[in-house]
Structure 1
């Protein structure tokens, strides 16, 4: 028996989703639709009667106050209405279906299957073409969804798989061999190495063996560009990562760094008894073609990185940074095959928020940037931190005979070839070609799995753990078994549906899965814990002592690879790189006599404006450990610099996190761009009350071409900057990730993203109660500028607002800035600082306005008192320079002497005072007023762009 239930708002209740849909249609610049309704649709299959199905609808699917339901009564439409019923494609995971089946079972209702859909009803006068645009731009994504027609089969049968071993013929000629390499995403040198390996074995490769090599050798998994041998500026760089970033960490040799660059995340000491870890990942390509699912699984994946670090950590907070095309981009300018930036923005935001909120991990820090070059290739950075007992900070080593246990979600076709898809450039055909490459997430499964893993850790039931991420089981088991060997029986892997081949099972990147090495005597207890949490766990094989990867499917040997070749047989890339800084036209425009409009324009720029619309949709209170949240101030709507959590609730000790990113500087100088990102991340931490004493860094490189010489030269310069500043500040890198080939191809035209480096700073605060926020606190307080202002407006928001880039990007003088940071941290620790805010995008003008309207207080300052190097003779340049290593600091007059004594020889000056006038008054170099603006007007300009 099949039933259909429609759930809709009750009479008199506003259809909020319908109203939001109508607004989105308006944003598409479409006319015609005048009304919109959204109805949830459910189909059920099973030997059940109508009373049972009504009980399910009443108790599990509807809110009795605001909703009503109908059983087997599809909504009838008049001729003035059009409708589209959207459902998931066959084989695509729908997390709601699993939840419904469990809810039905809890109610004593035995369902055989469930499906979900959403019915959109539009009223008004519009043609078929308009409906088609609405459908494909707003109602569905063809990668995971389809429009239901009368001919659609709701409960179709999954095809059966009939085993057939697929051996691959290796062409004798080099051209044919290279063509085969393209099919399996292997470079010419790689496929030649593969051919030599099999020639020595005297047999043909099996398809799953080539798939395993392709996944394990992909850019995404092995980061082969960073490990390449570069010829650059007359020198040879053998392994860029080891030569720069990892080398700096090794030279610093901090005893509180417990595990770096060897696990799923970096681990540092927290309090001697506990350790904390942090990882930031990217999920760019999947988010470009399926924003909601791509972003959600990006966050789900990095949460599993933390869960799979050492012997498992409990997630304590999330971070995210997004880079999009501009939301007001004209649809006529949209490249073919690309989704509109606003749709990507909304989908990514919803995916990350839904996953984090549902799994119960607070999202506490991040940022959002916009640039037209991210259209078609958005960047989605997701980070997670965790805490674990100190004894669990490092993984153990499995022994031959230990079982390979697969835990969590079932395996399907979603995510197949995900890492090879993520390693290539995008094009106008990517949406059509990536139907199986985007994973579908289920945060409830991951939450249950997390609880099961942590219980098993406490009982020490496993000796090693890793997540099943990029490359699926091929990477997870392949990496774990490198030093021992592994034997896997693929027909034991639990599947979402029948019909998967042995190769698909092995390389699927279906989400919410972990692999554990479990001594046989512990399996029974582990399975008991999993049953108690409603988590599926299956022993799918064992670790061996033969250093081979052998796979079986129903007693058929389908893979027999040497671990030595799998992990050491990839030929090292040999690349040429060159670099020169950009030469841009130097800006030539007079300094305006008044700068009120310029300040308001900067406050309202996409990159500078309030991101409150996004932040409010995250839960940053869950777990009850948040000390400093993303929004601060009198009305909790000011932009905080860094965030702090207290993961051990009985302790004052905290974890502080901040980030730095400004790709605009890469249009001038990649070294300065990277230096500025590091300095900004550290400034954010210092401004909130942190210090350099136990501060670690994470790098996330998102680059364009991985072959073009200038692009590679920029990558080298940025990596060198990371090493130099790491050593100068004593801040080791503990983890990182790169994502290359972030390009979008339309025909012969290639649009590359700006070279983008995200730096995350992650440290320990001995006393989180000494945190400082950025909002002005009290009229009569003194306002200092700490740090020197220079003529460094290249890549600045101010130059961009005038249509220029410039050439003098901000640099970093680490010799003076380290002392500044140490002294300012000491002043904050002693309680001398009332508020502190770092100066970054938009410079002093934007930072001061933010402090004023966040605190609901005014300020009067004089630009002639600005500490500077003597090169600035224009009010606008003083106001909007983006020189690094600078802060605005609010001090009580009672603390002036003590503050200046601690700051010593640091460049600083009293520039003005806090007032109760609720306006911003700024005097220029000549003594005249250059800005007289109410803080209410400033705040409105800042909040207006993203008041969606």
Structure 2
């Protein structure tokens, strides 16, 4: 497995790829990966100091990219026969480019090899001395059983290949309006049921529970939380046994805004940060990763949309002070059929993030905790349904919602501070499906009823109920703490929109009266495989 994985991921798919590239898919082993990580961390924290001076993973291209990148300045000599193999009979070329998983390349001073070997043996991790960095003429030299099978100057490898120049074109998207056959507003219960059962929003428990996500992980907040297993905003683990510091892990995705990849990117970063903040992560200690999946960038329009998304990454990371520390791209996601038709995926950018929880005892979850608590909406709702799941199902006019790069980070910091001082019992971000979906999820996760206030929540305002404006949060607050909360948020938009109770029903005046248990089953049912 893992031969030509990079080639496969960069190639346009056809109906023959399943046979031609079945070997390209890497077969991972999470238990082996955990052993490897533990060994590397022990080598990093060795009593003599870190046992390695440089490290990288064997990703796309395997040894070829890992050693080729690490040896750029010094050169490197590699003995390919020393590499442990998953399969007998691999050629030198296959060894050099294999992308088999759970492998890292380390630069280790000679006097540290024995100590590193002892650590690897302790953790049942394979180790080999693959070669040395540093050659007289700054070359990359490959040997196999005493025979030289490759030699290339590092200067040529890194600086000698002409750079490709391509044309990128971007056109502003047209104003959004209802599509054919759309534009008829359903009643609130029909809309809520349709959204909760949408595959993007419905429970993913069948995926989560296929593998034990708690193996050696010391999980503090799981992907499903509350008495009735509602959708957590993020997970929290404790990487260091015995420590009260935690690591929050979350994602952000806003493909509904794909018509403007810049706004899509900002919304994804904003959602990732909100998800982390909602469990107690410090927003000043967040790092993020990008995962681009794009149709062919040989098309100037596709490349233009990619450039637009990259600009969003730059502006969003600076505004939220969330550095990109890694990422991945796959830029040729399209399929040509036997009759010559080309099917392209929509531009998609997943933002993943993790951040520091200073004290896991202060973590909170999204499930409602207590009758008589009040529900507070934080953040500004923009008067648009564009880009929302509601618009996807029923239509909706307006401009695509925009992230305010000053207000969004500020709101995240104020919510995080309110959680840190104990003002918040539960927090949930408003994203897929909008505010009414998020409120229903909080209620059924905690097994409580919720009465929304018609004076604060206009049942005839679909943008408020179902719009997916960024930078919004739902907070469960003790009624006695409302004054403190108002002082805390100051000029940040804040509205008390309802109160939890023990009725077991979600109500909004005469416009909505639904069983919370029924809503939970509707949410859980579509993917209950």
Whether these two folds match at TM > 0.5 is yes
Q: Which residue is equivalent to 2:189? A: 596
Tell me which structure has the larger Cα radius of gyration.
Answer: 1
Q: Which residue is equivalent to 2:135? A: 545
Q: Which residue is equivalent to 2:377? A: 785
Indicate if the aligned counterparts of 2:378 and 2:472 stay in contact, CA closer than 8 A.
yes
Does 1:826 find its partner at 2:417?
A: yes
Alignment of 1:733-744 (within 5 A): 733-744=324-335
State the TM-score, normalizing by the size of structure 2: 0.91
Q: Which residue is equivalent to 2:316? A: 725
Indicate if the aligned counterparts of 2:379 and 2:492 stay in contact, CA closer than 8 A.
yes
Does 1:616 find its partner at 2:209?
A: yes
Alignment of 1:172-183 (within 5 A): none
Does 1:471 find its partner at 2:67?
A: no
CA deviations over 1:885-918 (Å, ceiling 9, x no partner): 1122221111111111111112111112112110
Q: CA 1:504–1:733 in 2, change beyond 3 Å: closer, same or farther?
A: closer
2: distance between equivalents of 1:732 and 1:499?
43
Q: Which residue is equivalent to 2:461? A: 875
Shift of 1:446: 4.3
1: distance between equivalents of 2:479 and 2:446?
18
Q: CA 1:826–1:438 in 2, change beyond 3 Å: closer, same or farther?
A: closer
The counterpart of 2:507, out of the listed 886, 897, 921, is 921
Alignment of 1:298-313 (within 5 A): none
Indicate if the aligned counterparts of 1:426 and 1:743 stay in contact, CA closer than 8 A.
yes
Q: CA 1:663–1:504 in 2, change beyond 3 Å: closer, same or farther?
A: same
CA deviations over 1:182-237 (Å, ceiling 9, x no partner): xxxxxxxxxxxxxxxxxxxxxxxxxxxxxxxxxxxxxxxxxxxxxxxxxxxxxxxx
Does 1:436 find its partner at 2:23?
A: yes
Q: CA 1:805–1:428 in 2, change beyond 3 Å: closer, same or farther?
A: farther
Q: CA 1:524–1:780 in 2, change beyond 3 Å: closer, same or farther?
A: closer
2: distance between equivalents of 1:821 and 1:773?
16
Alignment of 1:780-819 (within 5 A): 780-802=372-394, 804=395, 808-819=399-410
Q: Please give the secondary structure, in 1, of the residue aligned with 2:23.
A: coil
Alignment of 1:278-427 (within 5 A): 414-427=1-14
Shift of 1:549: 0.9
Q: CA 1:538–1:429 in 2, change beyond 3 Å: closer, same or farther?
A: same
Q: Which residue is equivalent to 1:754? A: 346
Q: CA 1:484–1:824 in 2, change beyond 3 Å: closer, same or farther?
A: same
1: distance between equivalents of 2:325 and 2:121?
36
Does 1:935 find its partner at 2:516?
A: yes
In structure 2, list runs of 5 or more residues that go unmatched: none
In structure 1, list runs of 5 or more residues that go unmatched: 1-413, 867-871, 924-928
2: distance between equivalents of 1:827 and 1:531?
47
2: distance between equivalents of 1:941 and 1:496?
45
Alignment of 1:654-673 (within 5 A): 654-666=246-258, 668-673=259-264
Does 1:650 find its partner at 2:230?
A: no
2: distance between equivalents of 1:494 and 1:650?
35
Q: Please give the secondary structure, in 2, of the residue aligned with 1:728.
A: helix
Q: Which residue is equivalent to 1:568? A: 159
Indicate if the aligned counterparts of 2:183 and 2:396 stay in contact, CA closer than 8 A.
no
Alignment of 1:69-218 (within 5 A): none
State the TM-score, normalizing by the size of structure 1: 0.52
Shift of 1:863: 4.3
More deviation, 445-454/810-819: 445-454
The counterpart of 1:685, out of the listed 276, 283, 286, is 276
Shift of 1:682: 1.3
2: distance between equivalents of 1:842 and 1:935?
17
Q: Please give the secondary structure, in 2, of the residue aligned with 1:889.
A: strand
Indicate if the aligned counterparts of 2:234 and 2:279 stay in contact, CA closer than 8 A.
yes
1: distance between equivalents of 2:109 and 2:319?
46
Q: CA 1:732–1:523 in 2, change beyond 3 Å: closer, same or farther?
A: closer
Structure with the greater relative contact order (CA < 8 A, sep ≥ 6): 1 or 2?
A: 2
Shift of 1:439: 3.0
2: distance between equivalents of 1:919 and 1:906?
30
Q: Please give the secondary structure, in 1, of the residue aligned with 2:526.
A: coil
Shift of 1:487: 1.7
